[in-house]
Structures are given as C-alpha cells and as structure tokens.
Amino acid sequence: RTASAVAVSTELRAIAATGGLGDPTEELSAYFTDPEAFVRGHSPKIVSATITSAQRAATDGKLPRALALADRASALAPHDPAVVALIDTLAAGGRSRSRRRLVGLAALALAMSGAGAAVAFTALGGGGENAPDAGAVALADADTAVATTTIDAATESTIDAAIGPVSTPDAAAAVTADAPITPIARDAGVARRKDAGGSVALTTDAGVTPIDAAVIAVDAAALSSGTGAIIVKNDTWCEVEIDGEPRGRISARPIKVSAGPHTVVCTQGSGTGMIWTKQVEVGPGELRTVTGSLLAYNEVRISTDVTIAGIAYRAGMTVKLKGRVELEKDGAKIFVTISSPCEIRDKPDLNCYR
C-alpha cells in the first residue's frame, strides 16, 4: 500500500514524465482537442514506463508495488505482449509461501482480461529436399485444459462480487470477436530454415499459460466447507452459463459454485455457432479453470519479412492466424485482427490486406 496520496501523485507524475507527458494543463487541452489521437500517441510510452517501474520494483523486492504497476499497465494495454510477459515474470518469481499466494492471485486476475489469440504457420514448398530442419516442434493447443488450484476463505469472500464487464471491442473487433495476445517464446523451438520450401506447424494455446496449482497454498482450516469457484478462459468474449444459469460476460473474476459436477457453457448467442460446453468437477475450496476456444484460423500470405507475435517470418511463407496479433517490421509495430484470409505487406503501410 502506498504511504499517502502525495506519494501516489509523485509516482504517477514520474511515470507520466517518462512516458512523454508534459504540463498537465497543456496535456488536458491536447486530450480534449482530439482524445483518440492523444491516447494513441501517449499510451505506448506510458505503458513502457510503467513496465520499467514495475520491473525495477520487483528487482528491489517491492512485490506489492510491482503488482500494482503491472495492474496499471494491464488496464492500459491488456493485450500488449510486454505486459503479459511482466505478469508471467512476477508470477514465476515468488519463493516464499505468502509471495506465491499473492503473485498467483494477481496473475489470475490480470492475465485473464479479455480473450486470446493462437498462431499456427505453414511455409509454402515441396518435398524432401526442402523439408525443415529437425529442430521444428509443435506446441499442443490446450483448448480442453481444466486447471485446478485451491482458494482460502479470504479469496472466497471476493467471489460473490458482481462479474465485471470486459472492455467493449473496437470497431474492427466487433465483427471478429477481438482476442488478447498470448506471448510466444521467440525461440519457439523452431530451427532456422535453409530454404523457403517444406512446411512447419506451430500452435500455441489461445489462453494465458496456466498458473501451477501449487502457487496458491492454503491451510486446511481455510478451505470452504462446501463451495468452490470456476474461472472461464476463452480466446474471445462470450456469455458464460453454469448449469443453465447465466453468469454474465466472461471476465477474470472467479465464479462461486457449490462443490460437485458442473456444466460450463461459453457462447456468443444462439444462431451464431459460436459456443462450447465443458464438464468440470469442483471440490470444496477448489478454484477450477476451464479453457476453451471459439475463433477459427485464417490463411495469411506473407509478402515481406516480418515478425509476428515475436517470431520472425520470411516473405513467401503462408501463416495460419486467428484473433488479434502483433506485426513488427523495421521498428514499426501494429496490432491487427485476423478475421479472414489476408496478405501481410509493408506497402503502403504495414498491415494485413484483404
């Protein structure tokens, strides 16, 4: 907890200054003149500065402050790979029991915002001569994963709160059901290709990497006598139903349920075909994570060397993408929503053109 409002003000002004903000009066005038342009121009710098401050706090052993800064960064850019990587780093860094509990709870709350995007790629080419090196591997899609952990009485007391709404997708995402980015390791286990032939496939889970159940440890006395909770993860927005009862739009909040078997439904409405159903068994005091996927892959042609979600691709390859992904070339970065087949080009600007 920050010592005082003055300390909060000092800290936020430092972050704002690092992010390129100047005199408050001038900045407010610029904002009200063109709010969209102001946010678009300043958010990346502020997010970067906030991430740097969080990393410094974590290095100094000030975990609560690091988590608070990570929360601010997630609120500004929930789909930014650097923000997700920061949350993963904080979740993996705990050593004491109390630290593991704090990081686990924070990661569950922060990393779940919104929905996810998965990447699979196939290079155009021929047979044996053009086959990829033996280093190529495939990462299995975890659409059917159900993770288990336990919750204590303090955590349970927050579950009854109303489910908070997910931010409304932007205009492009309104049609394609926008999804968050899952960071893919830059190495990703795929060896460099000697030529453009052959084919390689890489698939990664659309959701956030599950937190180990051991992260949240509780004493037996803290377990609830007859209730548990469910967190629903999906690669895009959906309305959640449990045992036929509407529970609102998908969010990071655990949903309190009685101990026993439950049927979980994630749907975008009747007639859309966007729906999945899963069965889950919840024990007393358990927090169960149910993960699914609604988005379909689309074939994308690559006509320029580009980095997609942290992985470098060469012109001439064909990639299968879904949801919202990051494109990067020559220092320029943009996020695009893949809802149909398209072609990635850097002229007139870097984008995926239909």
Share of the chain above pLDDT 70, in %: 53
Instruction: Give the residue with greater pLDDT, 270 vs 230.
Output: 230
Q: Is 84 found in the same domain as 135?
A: no
Instruction: Give the residue with greater pLDDT, 315 vs 222.
Output: 315
Residue 302 has what pLDDT?
Answer: 95
Q: Is 143 found in the same domain as 101?
A: no
Output the average pLDDT for the chain: 69
> Range of 79's domain?
5-111
Residue 53 predicted with pLDDT over 50: yes
Residue 291 predicted with pLDDT over 80: yes
Residue 10 predicted with pLDDT over 80: no
Examine the fold and report which residue of 93, 111, 129 is the final residue of a domain before the chain moves on: 111
Calpha distance 254→280 (Å, rounded): 14
- Any idea which of 26-30, 108-112, 251-255, 302-306 has the lowest mean pLDDT? 108-112
Residue 37 predicted with pLDDT over 80: no
- The pairing of strands 342-345 and 298-302 is parallel
Q: Is 88 found in the same domain as 224?
A: no
* pLDDT digits 0-9 by tens, 130-156: 433 333 333 334 343 455 555 554 444
Q: Is 203 found in the same domain as 70?
A: no
Which residues make Cβ contacts (< 8 Å) with residue 36, sequence separation at least 6? none
Q: Is 99 found in the same domain as 181?
A: no
Q: Is 333 found in the same domain as 187?
A: yes
Label residue 171 exposed, middle or buried (CB < 10 Å: 0-12, 13-18, 19+): exposed
Q: Is 270 found in the same domain as 131?
A: yes
Tell me the CA end-to-end span of the chain in Å, nearest whole number.
49
Residue 135 has what pLDDT?
Answer: 35
Residue 149 has what pLDDT?
Answer: 52
Count of structural domains, the chain:
2
Calpha distance 255→163 (Å, rounded): 8
Chain Cα centroid distance, residue 287: 20
Residue 17 has what pLDDT?
Answer: 65
Examine the fold and report which residue of 111, 143, 171 is the final residue of a domain before the chain moves on: 111
Question: How much is the average pLDDT of 227-237?
Answer: 93
Q: Is 343 found in the same domain as 262?
A: yes
pTM > 0.75: yes or no: no
Residue 335 has what pLDDT?
Answer: 93
* pLDDT digits 0-9 by tens, 88-117: 888 766 444 444 444 444 444 444 443 333
* pLDDT digits 0-9 by tens, 159-178: 444 334 444 444 333 344 44
Residue 229 predicted with pLDDT over 80: yes
Q: Is 131 found in the same domain as 236?
A: yes
Examine the fold and report which residue of 54, 80, 111 is the final residue of a domain before the chain moves on: 111
Q: Is 266 found in the same domain as 230?
A: yes
Q: Is 125 found in the same domain as 104?
A: no
Q: Is 99 found in the same domain as 128?
A: no
Question: How much is the average pLDDT of 34-55?
Answer: 80
Instruction: Give the residue with greater pLDDT, 77 vs 176.
Output: 77
